């Protein structure tokens, strides 16, 4: 009914304006004023979308995670339903986003309560009133003398501890969060740092502009009354636009977080203030999607330090571009020996994948879904790390990936 109503109104407008194509501008304005006056906007507004007022907890949403980490409706046991209200895509999207914000806080709680991680505020010397972000550190992460694992997610709405919000909501916590990586890393003796590269600013509502009402006078000159009529017409037109999109978002402005105003800047800041100061002899990275670009940028900016400290890097469907980012030959050679990119592919897991870029070997993640590449390559990544550590201690190349690396390197040299 709502769609038909919208279509009907727009059809009237289009028809009327088409008929006015050959008339003067003033006649168009008069016709539009007449058309708008015949539409009962107050009545139409009643038929519009519900308020954008959504629950603030999972319980109020009537959802919970079951023993398998799947989000299910408390009463029906059904998975999350996006199209909760038919023909109200915008409202459904806003509802989904509201749930996503709750999921973010839920994952933060899991990191602290179940993974025993602590928040570290950024910037480290933040003033009380300035915008802040944070990262998560496992117990004794900076004091672990052996191994340190750094996790970097991709861009977008995902925050610390998440690979993909969509997976958390529609699949399960294991595939969508970094928690399995954290738990296994801790079991294998790693310290862990979870970055938060997309928390770059805070949003504050802009103050409303104060407008002074003009005095009403019946003795106004004709020219002034005409200008007033034009303003009234514009007001009604704006009101009609508000009907078409009735609940406009509040106007906000973004205040950047000092030295963390972009994912790349955040990665460099965390390196300088945490990772580089850690006691670990061997540092490992898992970087998904845009996180791979942030790692390459970190290498460019801190090349010597990274080469001296980082043992191996697992990229998952990384979107880095060594040409665009102007990575030098020495960086490309290092990446060939120390990085591997598990990319989305229909090939079985760990199958070498052809590439024209001379950066690092690429193998299949065993899935064609971009957001699933981290989870699908989970076991292979830790085998890759173990092999890299063994190779380093024995001054030889990792046995599990030597074939992939050698074959890719030969192909690059032939090209």
For the beta sheet containing 282-288, the strands, ordered from the edge strand earlier in sequence to the opposite edge, are 118-122, 133-137, 190-194, 147-152, 282-288, 310-316, 339-343, 362-364
Residue 140: closest CA among 286, 310, 278, 269: 278
Check the CA dihedral 385-390-394-398 and report its sign. negative
Tell me how far apart the alpha carbons of residues 79 and 168 are, in angstroms, rounded to a whole number: 11
Buried b (16+ CB within 10 A) or exposed e, 272-283: bbbbeebebebb
In the 8-state DSSP scheme, what is residue 275?
A: I
Alpha helix ranges (H) inside 88-206: 89-113, 165-170, 173-176, 179-187
Of the CA atoms within 13 Å of residue 392, those in its CB half-sphere come to 20
Query: Catalytic site residues?
Result: 289
Cα separation, 20 vs 28, in Å, equals: 6
* Encoded tokens for 238: 């704006």
Query: 123 preceded by cis ω (within 30°)?
Result: yes
Residue 335: count of CB within 10 angstroms of its CB? 24
| 125, burial (CB in 10 Å: exposed 0-12, middle 13-18, buried 19+) | exposed
Cα 62 from Cα 76, distance rounded (Å) = 10
In sequence order, what DSSP letters do the residues of 171-188 get, joined into one string? T-HHHHBSHHHHHHHHHT
CA 141 to CA 159: how far, in whole Å?
Answer: 20
Calculate Rg over the CA atoms of the chain.
Answer: 28
């Amino acid at each position: 009914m709502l769609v038909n109503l919208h279509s009907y109104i727009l059809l009237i407008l289009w028809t009327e304006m088409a008929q006015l194509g050959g008339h003067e501008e003033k006649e168009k304005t008069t016709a539009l004023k007449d058309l708008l006056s015949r539409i009962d906007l107050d009545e139409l507004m009643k038929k519009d979308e519900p308020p954008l007022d959504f629950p603030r907890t999972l319980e109020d949403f009537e959802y919970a995670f079951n023993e398998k980490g799947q989000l299910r409706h408390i009463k029906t046991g059904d998975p999350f339903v996006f199209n909760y209200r038919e023909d109200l895509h915008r409202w459904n999207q806003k509802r989904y986003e509201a749930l996503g914000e709750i999921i973010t806080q839920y994952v933060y709680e899991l990191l602290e309560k179940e993974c025993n991680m602590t928040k570290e505020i950024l910037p480290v010397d933040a003033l009380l009133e300035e915008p802040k972000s944070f990262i998560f550190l496992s117990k004794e992460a900076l004091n672990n003398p052996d191994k340190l694992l750094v996790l970097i997610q991709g861009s977008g709405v995902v925050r610390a501890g998440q690979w993909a919000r969509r997976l958390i909501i529609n699949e399960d916590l294991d595939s969508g969060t970094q928690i399995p990586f954290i738990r296994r890393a801790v079991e294998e003796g790693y310290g862990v740092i979870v970055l938060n590269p997309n928390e770059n600013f805070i949003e504050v509502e802009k103050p409303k502009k104060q407008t002074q009402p003009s005095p009403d006078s019946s003795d106004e000159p004709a020219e002034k009354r005409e200008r007033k009529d034009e303003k009234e017409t514009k007001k009604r037109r704006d009101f009609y636009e508000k009907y078409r999109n009735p609940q406009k978002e509040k106007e906000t402005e973004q205040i950047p977080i000092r030295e963390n105003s972009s994912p790349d800047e955040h990665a460099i800041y965390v390196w300088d203030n945490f990772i580089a100061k850690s006691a670990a002899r061997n540092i490992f990275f898992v970087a998904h999607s845009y996180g791979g670009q942030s790692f390459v940028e970190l290498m460019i900016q801190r090349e010597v330090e990274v080469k001296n400290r980082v043992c191996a890097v697992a990229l998952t469907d990384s979107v880095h571009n060594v040409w665009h980012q102007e990575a030098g030959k020495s960086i490309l050679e290092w990446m060939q020996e120390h990085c591997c990119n598990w990319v989305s592919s229909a090939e079985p897991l760990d199958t070498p994948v052809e590439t024209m870029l001379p950066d690092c070997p690429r193998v299949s993640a065993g899935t064609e879904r971009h957001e699933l590449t981290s989870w699908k390559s989970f076991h292979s990544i830790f085998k890759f790390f173990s092999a890299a550590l063994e190779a380093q201690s024995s001054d030889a190349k990792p046995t599990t990936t030597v074939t992939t690396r050698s074959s890719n390197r030969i192909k690059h040299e032939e090209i």
